[in-house]
Amino acid sequence: MRIRSLGVIDDAVVELSPGFTAVTGETGAGKTMVVTSLGLLLGGRADPALVRIGAKAAVVEGRIVMRPDAPAAVRAEEAGAELDDGALLISRTVSAEGRSRAHVGGRSVPVGLLAELADDLVAVHGQTDQQGLLRPARQRQALDRYAGDAVAVPLEKYGSAYRRLRAVAVELEEITTRARERAQEADLLRFGLDEIAAVEPVAGEDTELAAEAERLGHAESLSSAAQLAHAALAGNPEDPEAIDANMLVAGAHRALESVRSHDPALGALAERIGELGILLSDVAGELAGYADDLDADPLRLAAVEERRAALTQLTRKYGTEGTVDAVLEWAEQGAARLLQLDGDDERITELTAERDGLRGELSALAQALTDARVEAATRFASAVTAELASLAMPHARVTIDIRQAEDPDGVDVDGRPVAYGPSGADEVELLLAPHPGAQPRPIAKGASGGELSRVMLAVEVVFAGSDPVPTYLFDEVDAGVGGKAAVEVGRRLAKLAKSAQVVVVTHLPQVAAFADRQLLVEKTNDGSVTRSGVTVLEGEDRIRELSRMLAGHEDSVSARAHAEELLAAARTDA
């Protein structure tokens, strides 16, 4: 993570260890800016007061390594971002005027997307900022993962039944609430089908009738033309001396026939002229038949036009393409839809029976889920309570309240309207009684700031490997503890770091000694400008910083010895 012009930090690069990273430094050195920077990358509120005096904007850039199939990577890609060699690049810019911009994977995105990604990337536990497991929904999810197959198996069956019940309920509601609309639709379909059935259209009939109407409307001119053409080809009986095409072709044929023996070429032409004469005779015969068969009856024309008018009325109402074929297609689809609508009563009966059966099945599966969660919650609460005893909270007691959510419109179970959701009917909430006699309250309300961080540490340690969030940030998790309890805090942070990345801002050397990497936030002043930087501490430098944290003086011999002892003990525990 690179931080520029944020608070007292001018320009710093913070490289977090894959395991446990401790951030230390004097009070006021700027450790909080490291937490704030991470908060900005996670969609936190942009405060222009954070911008370093004299700078135009504060910029925080982060490179987060993740699997391509990780939820955050999938969500980022949906927003148009791209992974860079297995890492997601995120940047946040806050101007001195208060404007804020965000970029993910090279793409400008709404700041809200950073908050969405944060849910799957980092769980923050601090004095004023708690995320992750403080949300009841996340508590239920984590408890389910903690329970393993005992919850996973009935939850899968429940999910299948729940989705089917939703689908049945939606269909049933659609049928019943739209009964009037569907009845009106059925009436319109019946009217249309009856109207089409009364006319009895035939496929392609409109095209044939149009051709016939055209022919009947010009019968007189067609007959006259056919007779004239016939006379030109076969002669006019009223004028025996008139010359026609058949006579001319016959004369040509006779002329060539008389000399065809002298030249085969003329013989071939004579045969073709003979064929021409046959063709002329055939055409003349067909013309005569056409003229005789032509129906000039005005009654037939009237009948055709009346039929066409009836078909046109249908095509205007039901033929989307203006043809009889389209009308017939509408009638086929309408009949199928009417059959479906007429079966509503039967379908309602079937769906109602299925819904009632699914409700019973869902109730049984939900109870199985509740039983499994209650059993897992008992084990979980005992484990967290035991952790708290080693974190300077020996009298604290954690329990999990599992209750079924009620909804006036829910499913009636033993006289109670239970609200079934995608994950069952249970509401899961972590409760804390910090001392004997105290009433258990939700952990966000039942603990002070320092206690809350320790409670969340205990919870995260117990949930280690169950919660999918890969990174945990603890700010002031050691508030109000010291001595042996501080060592236990460090030991548990190191334990959590075996399955996730852990970042801790701490004042306690007992905690910092357990870190895989220690970062020092240090303030410098050249007389006119104050700035802070971040340094990775190794070897002698780390011993000096632990000595300062122990005794307030990095060169104290006894403090150095104690620091070396802490580091050695931490390595032995690891």
Over residues 68-73, mean pLDDT: 86
State which H helix or E strand residue 501 sits in: strand 501-505
Q: What is the pLDDT, as a whole number, of residue 526? A: 64
Q: How does pLDDT run across 122-171, given as a tens digit for each residue?
A: 877 765 544 556 777 778 888 888 888 899 999 999 999 999 998 998 88
Rounded Cα–Cα distance for residues 459 and 432 (Å): 11
% of the chain exceeding 90 in pLDDT:
11
Q: Which tops the pLDDT comparison, 467 or 251?
A: 251
Task: Say how many C-beta atoms besides its own lie within 10 A of residue 106's C-beta.
Answer: 11
pLDDT-based confidence at 92, cuts 50/70/90?
Answer: very high
Q: Which tops the pLDDT comparison, 190 or 290?
A: 190
List residues bridging with 534 in a β-sheet: 521
Q: Name which of 97, 91, 96 is nearest 111 in CA terms.
A: 91
Picking from 237-251, 322-336, 424-438, 544-558, which range would have the lowest pLDDT averaged per residue? Answer: 237-251
Mean pLDDT of the chain: 82
The residue type at 307 = R
Tell me the backbone φ, ψ of residue 525, rounded to 5 degrees.
-145, 120
Tokens of 276: 């021409």
Q: What is the pLDDT, as a whole number, of residue 570? A: 85
Rounded Cα–Cα distance for residues 52 and 31 (Å): 15
Side by side, which strands form the sheet with 441-442?
397-404, 426-433, 441-442
**Residue 549 burial class via C-beta count within 10 angstroms: exposed 0-12, middle 13-18, buried 19 and up:** buried
Rounded Cα–Cα distance for residues 388 and 325 (Å): 81
pLDDT-based confidence at 479, cuts 50/70/90?
Answer: low
Q: What is the pLDDT, as a whole number, of residue 464? A: 66
Q: What is the pLDDT, as a whole number, of residue 450? A: 63
DSSP string across 381-439:
HHHHHHHHHTTT-TT-EEEEEEEE-EEEEEEEETTEEE--BTTBSEEEEEEEE-STTPP
477, pLDDT greater than 70: no
CA torsion angle 502 505 508 513 (round to 10): 40
Tell me the backbone φ, ψ of residue 503, rounded to 5 degrees.
-120, 130
481, pLDDT greater than 90: no
**Residue 373 burial class via C-beta count within 10 angstroms: exposed 0-12, middle 13-18, buried 19 and up:** buried
Task: Say how many C-beta atoms besides its own lie within 10 A of residue 450's C-beta.
Answer: 17
CB within 8 Å of 472: residues ≥ 6 apart: 122, 123, 125, 460, 496, 500, 501, 502, 503
List residues bridging with 399 in a β-sheet: 431
In this structure, are residues 536 and 24 in contact, taking their beta carbons and an 8 Å threshold? no
Please give the model's pTM, rounded to 2 decimal places: 0.57
Distance (Å) of CA 560 to CA 23, 521, 546: 19, 20, 8
Tell me the backbone φ, ψ of residue 242, rounded to 5 degrees.
-70, 145
Cα 554 to chain centroid distance, Å, stands at 55
Rounded Cα–Cα distance for residues 396 and 379 (Å): 16
